[in-house]
Amino acid sequence: MQITDQITELLTKKVSPDLERRQIQAMIERPKQIENGDFSFPVFQLAKIRHQNPAEIAQNLAAEIQDPLFEKVEAKGPYLNFFLNRKDASSELFSQIDQALGDYGFNNDGQDKEVVIDMSSPNIAKPMSMGHLRSTVIGNTLSNLAKANGYHVDKVNHLGDWGTQFGLMIAAYKMWGDKPIQDYSIDELVKLYVRINQAAKEDESVADEGRRWFKMLEDGDQEALDLWKIISESSLKEFTDIYERLEIDFDAYTGESFYNDKMDAVIDLLKDKNLITVSQGAEIVDLPTLLPDSNLPIAMIRRSDGATLYMTRDLATAIYRKDHYHFDQSLYVVGAEQREHFAQLKAILKLAGFAWSDEMEHVSFGLITFNGSKMSSRKGNVVPLVDVLNSASQLALEQIEQKNPDLSNKKEVAEAVGVGAVIFNDLENDRNLTIDFDINEIVRFEGDTGPYVQYANARIHSILRKAGSFNLEGGLSDDQSWEVVSKMLDYPNIVKRAFDQRDPSIVAKYLLSLSRQFNSYYANTKILVEDDGLNARLTLIKSVSTILESGLALLGVKAPQEM
């Protein structure tokens, strides 16, 4: 049982039924000041329920609780402060970390619950951008976190493989194509796409041509379908190369085209509920009239030429997911610019009577800017993700050449460090912030970077290699060690909060601070001295490494043992 759980248990015995176990657990804090102990329990709520003076309650509880786990339990005003018996607690923690085999800090909150995560979802016939990388790595981390909290997860790639843009692509190929479609690289397809977007802006008839081809696609025209299929497959190949490089996989690739045969049913359903209005030949949901307070604009469901839209497909998707996965939570990891889209989507489903629309959540994130400007594939100023990963890997290799020229598997480690740096950078900031991207900054081995965490871990492995074999045992009570131990005691709560708040940065920031804590311990302590504390010190740093590796794995970042 984790130490927080032990304290929760103890308190539950004392104060139930006034407070329940869950409430108590949520109330336990980690004091910032060392003089306030290692854990603390505020009694305000209990005082309210019991109509008693908080300070008095704290006093009484302090007197009642006697347990070998604590050196002392002290009342301070309305707080009950727990001071752990450092030697026992650290030795207990080390053995818990060791025995958990990489699962230390995980819990079962989500037992029997299903989470669907819509993530990555790049658009066919375009290169995957940094924006889709954000969705991919945030989604992947949330998936790992959900699993660490006991949930069952399905990661779904909602590929953008349907819509007017494919009409435009096909129109462009029909107008300008000069070789078989299968001979086009993604780069060439993107050039075609950029060119036709420019042409469509200048000439409405080009845009019409695109719409005409999309309509044919939706109606099952064979030529349109064949071209679409080849374009999709070659894009998908490029995406899967990147996923392999990031070591991220999906439980389903059900893109927008998957819902083509489920559109009529959705539109009929909305009609049955009287939610559809016809306006200039198009079918819309008139949200301003139906929900005047929502400030949501009209949602177009079917255009006057009969073609469906992104929204139509998302309506079908949501219903399909509920039927198919029976989710308890359905997350959409998509850029903040689609906030209104998801608000409309949920509102329409709610109006249609689906109470479960409350379980859908748009997990939004900010833009990635490159040299201060937004990237757009329509304008052509995209930085393809492959190039970013390649340069990161190259920069990492240069640093390894300098720091550790004799390392045997340099290329492999450089890839782990470079790719890890890009992922970590993406996750360490609050997800809704705009990130301006500077590749040189993020691959540095010092500062708030992924390589900094990886390096701390590699350093621990190097010390452990030097030490040779030792017994995992012993506890520590000096202040230096205790600060490291105390940081490790936070980990279970980090794993929990990061998922509950859908916030990978909680894990990333924690890993940075644990690494800093270790580095300062390392700077001030002679670890490898042959005295009777040697075993315990090695056990301590081994435990740190286990947690660093666990946390990096949650983020999808590798942890090389040497770098």
Closest approach of ligand ARG to the CB of residue 117, in Å? 11
**Closer of 57 and 316 to ligand ARG (Cβ):** 316
Closest approach of ligand ARG to the CB of residue 159, in Å? 7
The footprint of ligand ARG on this chain (CB under 6 A) covers a number of residues equal to 9
For residues 83-118, b (16+ Cβ closer than 10 Å) or e, as one string?
bbbbeebbbbbbebbeeeeeebbbbeebeebbbbbb
Distance CA 251, CA 153 (A): 9
Closest approach of ligand ARG to the CB of residue 122, in Å? 6
Nearest to 24 by CA among 32, 34, 14: 14
**Closer of 41 and 370 to ligand ARG (Cβ):** 370
Site for ligand ARG in 367-406 (CB under 6 A): none
Distance CA 518, CA 484 (A): 7
Phi, psi (5° rounding) for residue 265? -60, -40
Closest approach of ligand ARG to the CB of residue 255, in Å? 8
Structure tokens at 499: 């998922």
Burial (CB < 10 A; 0-12, 13-18, 19+), residue 225, is middle
Site for ligand ARG in 306-325 (CB under 6 A): 314, 317
Distance CA 214, CA 54 (A): 69
**Closer of 375 and 508 to ligand ARG (Cβ):** 375
**Closer of 117 and 508 to ligand ARG (Cβ):** 117
Other Cβ atoms less than 10 A from the Cβ of 219: the count is: 11
For residues 486-503, b (16+ Cβ closer than 10 Å) or e, as one string?
bbbbbbbbbbbebbeebb
Closest approach of ligand ARG to the CB of residue 335, in Å? 7
Residues 157-176, one symbol each (x = binds ligand ARG by CB under 6 A, - = not), give -x-x----------------
Site for ligand ARG in 99-138 (CB under 6 A): 118, 121, 123
Structure tokens at 197: 């977007």
With tokens 């970013």, the residue in question is 388
In the set 332, 437, 491, 521, which binds ligand ARG (CB under 6 A)?
332
Other Cβ atoms less than 10 A from the Cβ of 278: the count is: 10
* Residues 19 and 49 sit within 8 Å (Cβ to Cβ): yes
**Closer of 334 and 536 to ligand ARG (Cβ):** 334
Nearest to 234 by CA among 194, 277, 273, 188: 188
Closest approach of ligand ARG to the CB of residue 332, in Å? 6
**DSSP secondary structure letters along 435-453:** EEE-HHHHT-SSSSSHHHH
What residue number has its CB nearest to ligand ARG?
160
Closest approach of ligand ARG to the CB of residue 149, in Å? 23
**Closer of 317 and 505 to ligand ARG (Cβ):** 317
Site for ligand ARG in 258-317 (CB under 6 A): 314, 317
Closest approach of ligand ARG to the CB of residue 334, in Å? 4
Site for ligand ARG in 411-440 (CB under 6 A): none
With tokens 């009777």, the residue in question is 532
Closest approach of ligand ARG to the CB of residue 299, in Å? 13
In the set 168, 334, 512, 554, which binds ligand ARG (CB under 6 A)?
334
Closest approach of ligand ARG to the CB of residue 135, in Å? 7
β-bridge partners, 350: none
Q: Residues in the site for ligand ARG, rule: CB under 6 A?
A: 118, 121, 123, 158, 160, 314, 317, 332, 334
